[in-house]
Amino acid sequence: TDFSARIARNTQIYIQSETNITRQVDPWAGSFYVESLTHALAQKAWEHIQEVEKLGGMAKAIETGVPKLRIEEAAARTQARIDSGIQKIIGVNEYRLEKEDPIDILEVDNTEVLRQQVERLKKLRAERDGTAVRQALEAITKCV
């Protein structure tokens, strides 16, 4: 079908555009490039871990909203790169179709599912041993 042919073509364009594979003789520049990327990734991860530790652990960090803030900052930076065209996404800001067919969106009313989940949670809380729950939570807190 035309759609299948477009997907096949776009896959090739995606690989070519996202990796710049056709612009270089040695796209990975030997192992040095891969190692430098790995080092940079590990360094950034370590910075995040240290930030969380300084706040007193992940539970405390979540209470202060730091992980959510970092995720929002990263999302904003990514969106800015996409909007400016620096970061290319095939079909979004690169190689867009002139006319796209509308996408059917399934609307789901989860009111009944939510009601059932709330009822199960109420039942669980009513039937469980409150003392055992408190003791388990205290034990977990002491481990942290």
- Summarised one tens digit per residue, pLDDT across range 113-144 is 999 999 999 999 999 999 999 999 999 988 86
Q: What phi and psi values does residue 90 have, to the nearest 5 degrees?
A: -60, 130
Q: Give percent above pLDDT 70 in the chain.
A: 94
Mean pLDDT along residues 54-73: 96
CA distance 98 to 6: 13
Is residue 131 one of the residues assigned to a domain?
yes
Q: Taken in order 85, 86, 91, 94, is the CA torsion positive or negative?
A: positive
The whole-model pTM stands at 0.52
Is residue 26 one of the residues assigned to a domain?
no
Is residue 95 one of the residues assigned to a domain?
no
Is residue 139 one of the residues assigned to a domain?
yes
- The residues that bridge with 90 in the sheet, in sequence order, are 94
Is residue 130 one of the residues assigned to a domain?
yes
Number of domains in the chain: 1
- Residue 61 to residues 52, 56, 57, 76, Cα–Cα distance (Å): 6, 7, 6, 20
